[in-house]
Amino acid sequence: MTDLILSTLAQGLIFSIAGLGIYISFRILDFPDLSVDSTFTTGASISAISIINGVNPFISIVLSLFGGLIAGSITGILHVKFKITNILSGIIVMIGLYSVNLRIMGKSNLHLFDTIHIFSEKNHIYKLAFLIIFTLFLKVIIDFFFKTEIGYVLKAVGQNQKFITGMGFDVDRYKILGLALANGLVALSGSLYTQYQGFSDISMGIGLIVSALASIVIGEMAFKNLKRFGVQNSSIVILGSIFYRGILSLALQIGVEPSDLKLVTALLMVLILSKGIFNSSKEKIVKRRLNSDFIKRYIQNFQ
């Protein structure tokens, strides 16, 4: 039993890194980036092939991160330079990456059973400890980043582009940066997951966008009150991801009839998302107000 809980926690943590990336594109940049289904696999592919070729597994994580950064920049460039709508540029990159991922791996499935990687140590406690430290480390970096000038501007880009342009910032450049970052995190998560499950498969990213969004929304619903105590959004995304994996693991445990599983998930989503629609108008107004306060303060800081 404890093993199952530990591994659910571990999965929750790994997917929370992808969740953080998707939070940046969907929530902060307000950019529905669909390319992540493929960038997750890109991260996995790069790690798998490099580990098989003798690259240190930690370095393979960094390589995956770069792969994701590049993929994200391409989505961004397609959108801002080629003026393709946001959804389409994400879809284009998603489609294109499919072939790229196959090229990277050379075939559709690679295993890491005979190699040494981060999770080849079988101890669940060790795996979990590593993941907790790693995720917290990333969270601290991300939180810090969003307190720098670039981070502040990035946040404002999703809220009020005109204002940022008026301030003399190049909105396009910040969008590309944000998307690169988002996809970098997703690829990093893919790299960790491929090592965790011991193999990489071309179809492993399918459905990531749905599960990540579900976990973000569920996290926001379930842990919304924590915000009052000064808990950051990044922590809520991480908690949400763990919570979501917990529900999923339970659903599998209870043995929901397999053919009904998708419907149950969909109904759960409707239940939770529809609440989001009902209160979104109010929340948005509050958000905007907060945002303008924050921009005022920001200007004062820099004047």
Partner 1 sequence: MKLKKTVLSGVITFFSIVVLTGCASFNLDASTLSEQDSAMDKEIFIGISQIAEHPALDNAREGFKESILELAEGKKIVFIEKNAQGDISNAQMIAESFKKDKVDMIYAIATPSAQSAYNTTKDIPIIISAVTDPVAAGLVKNINTPGTNVSGTSDLAPIKKQLELLLELEIKPQTIGFIYNTSEKNSEVQLDVLKEEAKHFGIEIEALGVTSITEIEQGLDVLLNKVDALYTPADNLIASSIRFLTSKALEKSIPVLGAEVAHVEGGALFTLGVDYLELGRQSGEMAYRVLTGENISEMAIETSKNPSISINLDTARILGISIDESILQKSELIGDK
Q: How far apart are the C-alpha atoms of 113 and 78, rounded to whole Å?
A: 38
Count of beta carbons in the 10 Å neighbourhood of residue 143 = 14
Give yes or no for residue 112 binding partner 1 (CB under 8 A): yes
Paired tokens of 214? 């579900």
DSSP SS3 for 135: helix
Task: Please report, as residue ranges, which positions from 57 to 86 form the binding site for partner 1 (by CB under 8 A).
Answer: none
State whether residue 168 is helix, strand or coil: coil
Q: Residue 188: phi, psi to the nearest 5?
A: -60, -45
Answer yes or no whether residue 282 interacts with partner 1 by CB under 8 A: yes
Q: Does 228 bind partner 1 (CB under 8 A)?
A: no
Q: For 32-45, what is the HEC assignment?
A: CCCCHHHHHHHHHH
**Smallest separation, CB 215 to partner 1 (Å):** 12
Q: How far is the CB of 267 from partner 1 (least distance, A)?
A: 12
Q: By C-beta, is 88 or 250 nearer to partner 1?
A: 250
Does 278 sit near partner 1 (CB under 8 A)?
yes
Alpha carbon distance 301, 299 (integer Å): 5
Residues 192-221 that bind partner 1 (CB under 8 A): 193, 196-199, 201-204, 206-207, 211, 221
Please give the residue ranges that form the binding site for partner 1 (CB under 8 A): 1, 3-4, 7-8, 11, 15, 98, 102, 107-109, 111-114, 122, 193, 196-199, 201-204, 206-207, 211, 221-222, 224, 246-250, 252-255, 258-259, 261-262, 271-272, 275, 278-279, 282
